[in-house]
Amino acid sequence: MFLLLCISMVTKAQDSVNRNPLYQMFIAAHPIDTGRSSQKLFVVPIFGHTPEGGYEYGIATFKNFTLPSNKNARTSFVTAKASFTSRHAANFIGYGEFWSKQNSFFWNIDVRHQEFPFYFYGVGNNTNINNAVLMEERLSHINVEAAKEVLKHYYIGLNGLLEKQVFSIKDTLYQHKVTILPNERKGSYLNLGLTQMYDSRDNTQFSTSGIYAYLKLSFYPKIERDNDFTGTQVNFNFKAFTTPIDRLTFGYNVVYNAFGGKIAPFYMLQQMGNDQIMRGFYAGRFRDKKMLAHQLEARYHFIERMAVTAFIGNGATTPRDWNINQFRTSYGAGLRYFFDVKQRSTIRLDYAITQRLLGEKRQTGVYVTLGEAF
């Protein structure tokens, strides 16, 4: 009798734990109410450290949802991040991606404001790490894109980007190492473009099959007197995914960005290195008019809530023609936690290492963020 009573108490306690909202949200492999759980707002604390920004703390939020009368379309989502650092830097980012009925219409909006320090190494693919100068950027940014499906999986749309940037040199002791013209210390610009997209992915957040190909052709009209540049830009992004055996997915990504114009302020140049492409390299370590990079990633989704990854990337920047000897390599591994199992929404932890450059130590990068690199 006592044994049966103990078993009953343990069973009730376990059942209580299993039905706890926090358990269902963050631990259970198969939430009891998967429909409702996918509509919940997920909140994740932010904590990190960078040499230039100091300790960073804040919150990030993420919400999946389906637009009204849109039962057979992809899931829409919104995400926002607000953080501050111990050195008085601030960062706010808001992004939303929306899919209409039967995926016939797609649009997104990206809004951000940042007041953040960064290291500027100069222009080119052979910058020296010892030439870093600490600068601060104040950025206001809004990007809006809308596209209509004209053939199965094929979309045509328009894109508009408006930015204002102001730069200051904080490291005045070493400012002689870089040349930044007075009219490049600040700038406002408008970018207008035509976009084309082919998207047959099975899931937009953690893809296991399908192809994504994106092409944007755009131009910069002159909107301010102190900006003496106009130009064109090409942005190309290709992704392909396949799952040859159960739970093991391979993804391949190619990114090509190019600015066309005789004059290009340093902040308009294409940058290599961030948490999405060429992980491990400091963002903006190499920048020039053209950037080409590709990466391969293997993802093993070994349990419902967790996956592991391994990746390798290769890329370069150049003002004109490509030289294969200028291409850099980075590689690494990561861990994925699925906070929304049904929609495959993830928190990503990546550790990346770069090739050793002449006269330098290997660079490394640790990335903790929402969503996949590609």
pLDDT tens by residue, 266-325: 888 999 999 999 999 998 899 999 999 999 999 999 999 999 999 999 999 999 899 999
pLDDT of residue 28: 57
pLDDT of residue 158: 98
Global confidence as pTM: 0.86
Distance CA 204, CA 157 (A): 18
pLDDT tens by residue, 269-283: 999 999 999 999 998
Distance CA 348, CA 338 (A): 9
Instruction: Chunk the chain into consecutive blocks of 10 residues (it has 374) and report each block's average pLDDT, rounded to whole numbers.
Output: 45 51 54 52 86 90 82 85 92 95 92 93 88 91 97 97 89 67 76 97 95 96 71 96 97 96 83 93 92 98 96 96 93 96 93 92 91 95
pLDDT of residue 238: 98
pLDDT of residue 313: 97
Q: Which residues is 192 bridged to in the sheet?
A: 160, 219
pLDDT of residue 27: 57
pLDDT of residue 19: 57
pLDDT tens by residue, 142-158: 999 999 999 999 999 99
On whether the CB atoms of residues 58 and 81 are closer than 8 A, the answer is yes
Residue 128 DSSP label: -
CATH placement of domain 33-370: 2.40.160.50
| CA 157 to chain CA mean position, Å | 21
Give the start-to-end residue ranges of the domains of the chain. Answer: 1-32, 33-370
